[in-house]
């Protein structure tokens, strides 16, 4: 793919049409690989939010989507998946010029995930019980009771910069499968692919107004969505800091919220770990997408008997990761998302040095042909980290690995759990029985054994502790996008069978 770009303009996508923001203002979208402006997007205001919510609500109430049968909705979702496949190159390009993600990540992981998520969520929705019949019960009079699942109405999805398409789809797919309308607000650094996705949905036959995208500042547009009385649910993925704000803001309208937040995963390397699997696995776990992954294995706890050889091999293999332009297929690691993020990560690296961690490799902004104007950071490994250091406790969200030593497995489990986060964890060992026992003791929503970054659309994903609330993916996700109603119908015409009358007569 050519690395040359020309600045494109993107309006919002509301009610099936491209609509510039009411105030006419725009904001720049930059390419993290060189800091150049690649696009201008509409800077929406609260007025745009009101308009988008109104139109999504009208669409919902019209029944054009919410009253369709599950089978009809599934068919349109499958053709939406087909459209994504057809336009994969364009999506890869839009994401490649604006997110810093490599084409290997976008093509090899994101697009495949998007398509599978849509297809599998659509198919799983056919098996989801929208109506359940309870056995007849005599207490207080015989009755027949139905439990009915109904769509919520208009859902707001607020997404982060690191996996803009996939994390939007984790919300769009279950929301529309259940008949809701949705408004997605992507991160301001990375709105392009999500906007294109909305256009493809309409081409696939999704009625106008079911899937809308509004762009603008989180503190303005995001907040207006969260506080809007006609938004029935907020599905948020982002930092724990903003997640807490969203939970507070949702309280005034008692909104349903799901929160997918930060992480500080630990990978425990047991003495019998297979180095052939563990070394590349740990490095993929932490350096994939330049470390900007919520469930990344940022802390690695290594048994004292293999501590130095593991560090040596991690450092040697790190040298093989090629930094470069995201659109170059040979690139293994691209830049971080912004100058601000780069400086934040570099500050953490300095704090690691100040607190006495041993710098094994990396440790600074990357330099070299093609890298100098971008926000590239050398993949960095610190050894002799202790769990009280800032680099071990706070989410860095960059290519920084913290290696720690342990003696006893209980000590490793305590260190792994000694964090406010609880999104993911992992174990590397030849003994999968022991590893699975350890998995039960780790406070995390996902635990990998001899694996990392592997997702299934039928396996729920979410966090313990300050890593989140609720789950995405899996059959359970449909509970998060529906209301549950009990319809209790009397089976008698005889008052004498209605014991409840005796309570007052």
- Positions touching ligand NAP (CB under 6 A) are 158-163, 167, 185, 187-188, 217-219, 222-223, 226, 237-239, 242, 245-246, 260-263, 294, 395, 397, 423, 463, 468
Catalytic residue among 95, 260, 295, 472: 260
Judge contact between 131 and 147, C-beta under 8 A.
yes
User: Burial of 287 by CB count in 10 Å (0-12 exposed, 13-18 middle, 19+ buried)?
Assistant: buried
Taking the least distance from each CB to ligand NAP, the nearer of 167 and 435 is 167
Specify the residue for token string 């496949």: 85
**Shortest separation between residue 167's beta carbon and ligand NAP, angstroms:** 6
Strand partners for 37:
30
Closest residue to ligand NAP: CB criterion? 218
| CB-CB contact of 10 with 21 (8 Å) | no
Contact 52, 183 (CB under 8 A): yes
241 versus 312: smaller Cβ distance to ligand NAP: 241
Nearer to ligand NAP, 153 or 468 (CB): 468
CA dist., res. 240 & res. 238, Å (int): 7
Is 425 within 8 Å of 266 (Cβ atoms)? yes
Structure tokens at 435: 């590893």
Question: For residues 376 and 461, which CB has a smaller minimum distance to ligand NAP in the complex?
Answer: 461
Report, in Å, the least distance between residue 425 CB and ligand NAP. 14
Placement of tokens 């998995």 in the chain: 439
Compute the distance between CA of residue 173 and CA of residue 130 in angstroms, rounded to an integer: 16
Of residues 168 and 206, the one with the C-beta less far from ligand NAP: 168
> Which bin fits 216, alpha (ψ -120 to 50), beta or left (φ > 0)?
left
- CB-CB contact of 387 with 418 (8 Å): yes
Tell me whether residue 186 or residue 207 sits nearer to ligand NAP (CB atom). 186
Q: Minimum Å distance from CB 352 to ligand NAP? A: 19
Q: Which residues sit opposite 132 in a β-bridge?
A: 147
Whose Cβ is closer to ligand NAP: residue 242's or residue 311's?
242
CB of 46 to ligand NAP, least distance (A): 12
Q: What is the nearest approach in angstroms of ligand NAP to the Cβ of residue 408?
A: 30
Q: Where are the beta strands (DSSP E) in 281-428?
A: 299-303, 358-361, 380-383, 400-406, 424-428
Q: Is 356 left (phi over 0), alpha (psi -120 to 50) or beta?
A: left
Residue 55's CB is within 10 A of a number of other CB atoms, namely 21
Please state the closest distance from residue 191 (CB atom) to ligand NAP, in A.
9
Which residues pair with residue 358 across a beta bridge? 383
- φ/ψ of 116, rounded to 5, equals -65, -40
> Any catalytic annotation for residue 260?
yes
DSSP secondary structure string, 387-418?
TTSHHHHS---SSEEEEEEESSHHHHHHHHH-
Comparing CB distances to ligand NAP, the nearer of 302 and 391 is 391
We find the least distance from the C-beta atom of residue 160 to ligand NAP, in angstroms, to be 3
- What count of other Cβ atoms lies within 10 Å of the Cβ of residue 165? 29
- Find the shortest distance in angstroms from Cβ 421 to ligand NAP: 9
Length reported for the chain: 505
Catalytic residues: 260
């Amino acid at each position: 793919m050519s690395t040359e770009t020309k600045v494109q303009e993107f309006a919002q996508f509301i009610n099936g049409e491209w609509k510039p923001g009411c105030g006419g203002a725009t904001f720049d979208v930059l390419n993290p690989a060189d800091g150049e402006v690649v696009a201008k997007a509409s800077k929406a205001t609260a007025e745009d939010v009101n308009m988008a919510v109104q139109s999504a609500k009208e669409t919902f109430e019209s029944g054009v989507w919410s009253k369709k049968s599950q089978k009809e909705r599934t068919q349109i979702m499958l053709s939406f998946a087909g459209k994504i496949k057809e336009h994969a190159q364009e999506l890869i390009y839009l994401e490649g010029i604006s997110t810093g993600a490599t084409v290997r990540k976008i093509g090899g992981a994101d697009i495949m995930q998007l398509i599978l998520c849509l297809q599998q969520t659509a198919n799983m929705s056919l098996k989801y019980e929208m109506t359940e019949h309870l056995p007849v019960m005599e207490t207080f009079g015989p009755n027949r009771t139905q439990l009915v699942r109904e769509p919520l109405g208009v859902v707001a999805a607020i997404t982060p910069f690191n996996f803009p398409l996939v994390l939007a789809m984790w919300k769009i797919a279950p929301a529309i499968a259940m008949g809701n309308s949705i408004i997605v607000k992507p991160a301001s650094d990375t709105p392009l692919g999500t906007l294109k996705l909305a256009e493809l949905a309409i081409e696939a036959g999704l009625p106008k107004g079911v899937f809308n995208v509004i762009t603008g500042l989180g503190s303005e547009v995001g907040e207006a969505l969260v506080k809007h009385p006609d938004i029935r649910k907020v599905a948020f993925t982002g930092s724990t800091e903003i997640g807490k704000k969203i939970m507070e803001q949702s309280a005034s309208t008692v909104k349903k919220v799901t929160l997918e937040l930060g992480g500080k995963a630990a990978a425990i390397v047991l003495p019998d770990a297979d180095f052939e699997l563990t070394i590349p696995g740990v490095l993929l776990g932490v350096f994939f997408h330049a470390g900007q992954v919520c469930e990344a294995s940022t802390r690695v706890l290594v048994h004292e008997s293999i501590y130095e050889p593991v560090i040596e091999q991690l450092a040697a293999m790190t040298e093989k990761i090629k930094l470069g332009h995201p659109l170059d297929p040979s690139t293994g690691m691209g830049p971080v998302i912004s100058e601000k993020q780069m400086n934040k990560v570099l500050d953490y690296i300095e704090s690691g040095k100040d607190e006495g961690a041993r710098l094994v490799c990396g440790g600074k902004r990357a330099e070299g042909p093609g890298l100098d104007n971008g926000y590239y950071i050398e993949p960095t490994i610190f050894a002799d980290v202790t769990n009280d250091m800032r680099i071990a406790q706070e989410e860095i969200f960059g290519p920084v690995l913290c290696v720690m030593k342990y003696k006893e497995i209980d000590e490793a489990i305590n260190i792994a759990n000694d964090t406010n986060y609880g999104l993911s964890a992992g174990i590397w060992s030849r003994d999968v029985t022991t590893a699975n026992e350890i998995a039960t003791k780790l406070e995390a929503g996902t635990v990998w054994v001899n694996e990392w970054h592997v997702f299934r659309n039928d396996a729920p994903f979410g966090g313990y502790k300050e890593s989140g609330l609720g789950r995405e993916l899996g059959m359970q996700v449909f509970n998060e996008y529906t209301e549950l109603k009990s319809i209790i119908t009397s089976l008698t015409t005889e008052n004498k069978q209605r014991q409840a009358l005796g309570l007052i007569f």
